[in-house]
Structure 1
């Protein structure tokens, strides 16, 4: 009888979750990006570089530089961040825990593929996707599946790939797509291979406890509590780190010009800078366009192509409690190495 009474509540939870996902993504992502694609096709631009505007140099480190960047960045992503927090908490409260475990809980390549494919409609930046990833991990999604979902939002973002083709050229889009597939599915597989038998057993026990403790009757009150906890835990440190990076632009990205050539040193330096820095969705497109117009070589541009969107210091901090430290270390290093590979490929292919 209790199971029969719970079924309508479970269905209601699914309906609410899907409504938030579909309506939220349509309003925040799908419809705006649909319109922006026409702008990219007609004007071969999607706006100014959020990093330096029309200048060849980032502003000197100061409180004003920090605040200016935080405000510009916040204006670009706040709606997606709210949606990410809503979805990340709803995953934990409104969806039965056994569903996440069944779909994404196995530490095999199948779960990685599912995680990567599920990311495609999201099209979120690395920080806005982080709360959803944290929610999946709280429901015991396998580390590799969660990593594939996280990186897939940025590396395989269909809208960004279209913008990139119209603005930078279809060869850049092809390079991003090819390396993005390798990163999302290859790195997800590698992370799942890092799961120890003890961690796998602990995850199965955690799922069993979640299932036994799950009460659909308290789902919506639990959702509000989880949303509040996630917001208080993730947002303050996120804001502080964005302010710090906004002030540090002048050190991470020096004066952009022809002196930034295809040398390995510059490719490595900008791969590291791109891995650390934080940008909104598709922000790498106008940044690279502006840098190329100032005379920067293709190699460093290729490095930024893969590193700027995938991870950042704020997004890594937001997920510090969701993954073992060794996993985030491997992911960070892999993104930086991929940036170097992307830069070298851009040079070798004559971009």
Structure 2
């Protein structure tokens, strides 16, 4: 009898049907307002600049030079400052939305749309990424939040990967600054990465044990009990503690090591197979703001690097990075994370090889 009473009391603490609707509407409003301020409105003016001037700024990697500065603490600090000036608003928005996904969106609704292992959930996750237009690190907290709600591996990955590689604004900038050929290459390989790689990664996950953080969400009732403020503070606090320290440290390390990761090459080696391999791996690990790959590629091309290197960076630079991999590492089976990392490198190599021939 007491057990039945406890269950009834628990149900009373869960959001009612009408409250779920209001919570969902609140999430949508916050997302629209945040994206308008951080992404959509600034990108409108950036698109006008790209159309008129055929540039969106200098390379964050090397500035106006052919090579990155020598490794040093100052180099690490300078890059970190420039990087976080570019992304801090989007990073805050990503953490905010990643925490609100866990407390505002009804679990059953999410599972119905994105919880299955089939291609439909993966496709919906990829489509949902298009309006967000975030870089890989800023989208990572939302992907983590989706996994904590037990969204399928394929859907969460498609959302995470689709944000940077199928970003509509980046595609517009790329067309004006580089060329429509680069844009078509990006779309083709971006579709493969977002939908095919995510789908097969979900199949690879199979019946793998659910990560600890996700298992906690599964073991809880349909909707966790407690006040909204308590649940949200717990959610955002967990994200901050598990994501931000590694994020800060790895950005500093990569900023210092960029001269080693993207070495200056002689004229004889700027479009060789070895150069494409080096830059594909470096691009996969390195971290950049949204659309920063465009001026980076433009700078490298202007200093004589071949289109093979440009093609490799076109896919690998925006897709993932060491910081973003560390952010999501505990929310996906390990073999999935390694599969995605390897897939990005392979697709970067293929894009580089094709670009060397046809661009």
Which TM-score band applies after superposition, normalised by the shorter structure?
over 0.9
What SS class does the counterpart of residue 319 from structure 2 fall into? Answer: coil
**2:56 paired residue number:** 46
For residues 330-345 of structure 1, the aligned pairs below 5 Å read 330-345=339-354
For residues 1-351 of structure 1, the aligned pairs below 5 Å read 2=12, 6-197=16-207, 199=209, 209-215=219-225, 218-255=227-264, 258-349=267-358, 351=359
Give the Cα separation in 2 of the matches to 1:203 and 1:103.
21
Deviation for aligned residue 1:277 = 0.3
Unpaired runs of 5+ residues, structure 2, are: 1-10
Q: 1:75 to 1:9 in 2, by over 3 A?
A: same
Deviation for aligned residue 1:151 = 0.6
Q: 1:257 to 1:31 in 2, by over 3 A?
A: farther
Deviation for aligned residue 1:225 = 1.7
CA deviation map 1:250-299 (0-9, x unaligned): 10011256344322111111100000100000000000001100111100
Q: 1:292 to 1:257 in 2, by over 3 A?
A: farther
What SS class does the counterpart of residue 10 from structure 1 fall into? Answer: helix
Deviation for aligned residue 1:193 = 1.1
CA deviation map 1:127-175 (0-9, x unaligned): 0000000000000111111111111001100000010000000000000
Q: 1:256 to 1:23 in 2, by over 3 A?
A: farther
CA deviation map 1:85-130 (0-9, x unaligned): 0000001111111122111110010011000000000100000000
**2:4 paired residue number:** none
Give the Cα separation in 1 of the matches to 2:350 and 2:109.
37
RMSD: 2.1
Give the Cα separation in 1 of the matches to 2:215 and 2:245.
32
CA deviation map 1:184-227 (0-9, x unaligned): 11101101211324658x99987764444523x52232112211
1:256–1:291 contact (8 Å) kept in structure 2: no
Q: 1:203 to 1:231 in 2, by over 3 A?
A: closer
Give the Cα separation in 2 of the matches to 1:204 and 1:268.
35
Number of equivalent positions: 348
1:140–1:203 contact (8 Å) kept in structure 2: no
Moved more, 259-268 or 97-106: 259-268
Give the Cα separation in 1 of the matches to 2:217 and 2:178.
46
2:150–2:218 contact (8 Å) kept in structure 1: no
Deviation for aligned residue 1:3 = 8.8
Q: 1:138 to 1:333 in 2, by over 3 A?
A: same
Unpaired runs of 5+ residues, structure 1, are: none
What SS class does the counterpart of residue 330 from structure 2 fall into? Answer: coil
1:113–1:185 contact (8 Å) kept in structure 2: yes
Give the Cα separation in 1 of the matches to 2:203 and 2:320.
21
